[in-house]
Each structure stands twice: as structure tokens, then as C-alpha cells.
């Protein structure tokens, strides 16, 4: 039995029985004892059911990056999910290095932009996202961009990218997750689409 704050995961089978005490706001997930690979695809299906397509997409890209799902797992998911999840499966890739990168790409998908993750840019190095070949977007999680030394490194990279004709936008977790409208307007404005 695995548990987190709001979810309780229970194994089905002839020896399973419903616990006698479950909090009223707890979501119970039932499933057979799966193999490790089946676990990843089963968990992904539950994420789609409970948390929605956006979270499913982020988890799916992370699973692809880590090699936890294979083409037959994607086919299995495709057969057992809804149309929005199928859109996410078709759109998913294995190049994002963080959930924030995946989230940005997912949220920009309707703009028909060329959004590539983890691209090497001459004179700059590897960047989180390169949009339409000219806009660098860095998704700065706290753990990777805290401190004066890291801040200086980021500023040097931004100056180098400008010297090569790129524009760089940096967004932290809070902006991407909680103030998406501003992030989207900034990206579109930098591309001349605002």
C-alpha cells in the first residue's frame, strides 16, 4: 500500500479488502500488482484520471526521458485514455530535462511554434528551450539557479546569447505555474506575436 496526502493506492486481488477507515476526502486507486514497466503506465493513467491532462503530459515526458515507458506502453495508454490524453501522447517527446520545460511546451502547443528542448546554442551552451530558432527560454527551478555565483553564470550566458543575436527570457517555477498568462504574453511579445 502506497499513500500520499490525498490518494490511497491499494492492490486488487482475492486477498484484498477495503480498509475499515478511510478519510472522506481520500481518493482510492485500485489496481493489480503490476510489473515495474506496467507500474509506470498504470501510474500515468491514474495521473490523467485524477490530476488532468497537463500533469499527465508532464509526467509522460519525464517517463519518456527516463526510459520508463516504451512504444508498447504508449499504445496501451492510447487505448485506455481519453482524446485529450491521446493528444498529449502524440505530442510527447523525450528531450525535456524538467517538468517546467514540458509544461511550457504543452501550454504553447496551439501557437504552432517550433519549440525545442535542450538545444546546444553556439557560444552559449545547452539551453532549456529554443523557440522558432531565435528565442531562448530558460525555466529556472530554484535548486539550479539559486545563489550569486549561479546568477552571475546565468547573466554571462544571457549576454553571450544576445551577442549571437538571440533573445533570452527567464521564468521561475512560480511564474510558469501560477502566472502563465504573463509568461505566455512575454514569449509571444518577444516573438512579435503579442
DSSP string, 102-113: HHHHHHTGGGT-
Phi-psi region of 70 (alpha: psi -120 to 50; beta: other; left: phi over 0): beta
In a domain, 77, yes or no: no
Evaluate whether residue 12 is within a structural domain: no
**Residue 22 belongs to some domain of the structure:** no
Q: Domain holding 102: CATH number? A: 3.40.960.10
Percent of the chain whose predicted confidence (pLDDT) is above 70: 77
Q: Would you state the cell numbers that stand for residue 161, as one nine-digit string? A: 546569447
| 94: pLDDT strictly greater than 80 | yes
Q: Domain for residue 40, yes or no?
A: no
Q: Domain total for the chain?
A: 1
Model confidence band, residue 23 (pLDDT cutoffs 50, 70, 90): low
Question: Per the domain annotation, does 100 fall within a domain?
Answer: yes
Query: Whole domain around residue 178: which residue ranges?
Result: 95-194
Residue 68 lies in a domain: no
pLDDT single digits (tens) 168-182: 999 999 999 999 999
pLDDT > 60? residue 150? yes
Asked if the structure places residue 45 within a domain, the reply is no
Amino acid at each position: 500500500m502506497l499513500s500520499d496526502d490525498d490518494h490511497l493506492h491499494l492492490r486488487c486481488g482475492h486477498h484484498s479488502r477495503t480498509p475499515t477507515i478511510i478519510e472522506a476526502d481520500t481518493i482510492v486507486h485500485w489496481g493489480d500488482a503490476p510489473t515495474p514497466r506496467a507500474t509506470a503506465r498504470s501510474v500515468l493513467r491514474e495521473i490523467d484520471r485524477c490530476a488532468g491532462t497537463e500533469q499527465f503530459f508532464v509526467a509522460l515526458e519525464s517517463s519518456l526521458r527516463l526510459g520508463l515507458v516504451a512504444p508498447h506502453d504508449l499504445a496501451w495508454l492510447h487505448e485506455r485514455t481519453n482524446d485529450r490524453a491521446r493528444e498529449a501522447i502524440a505530442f510527447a517527446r523525450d528531450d525535456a530535462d524538467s517538468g517546467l520545460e514540458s509544461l511550457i511546451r504543452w501550454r504553447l502547443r496551439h501557437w504552432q511554434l517550433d519549440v525545442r528542448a535542450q538545444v546546444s546554442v553556439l557560444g552559449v551552451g545547452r539551453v532549456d528551450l529554443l523557440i522558432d530558432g531565435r528565442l531562448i527560454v530558460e525555466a529556472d527551478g530554484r535548486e539550479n539557479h539559486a545563489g550569486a555565483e549561479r546568477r552571475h553564470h546565468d547573466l554571462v550566458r544571457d549576454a553571450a546569447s544576445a551577442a549571437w543575436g538571440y533573445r533570452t527570457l527567464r521564468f521561475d517555477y512560480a511564474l510558469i505555474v501560477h502566472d502563465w498568462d504573463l509568461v505566455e504574453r512575454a514569449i509571444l511579445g518577444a516573438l512579435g506575436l503579442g
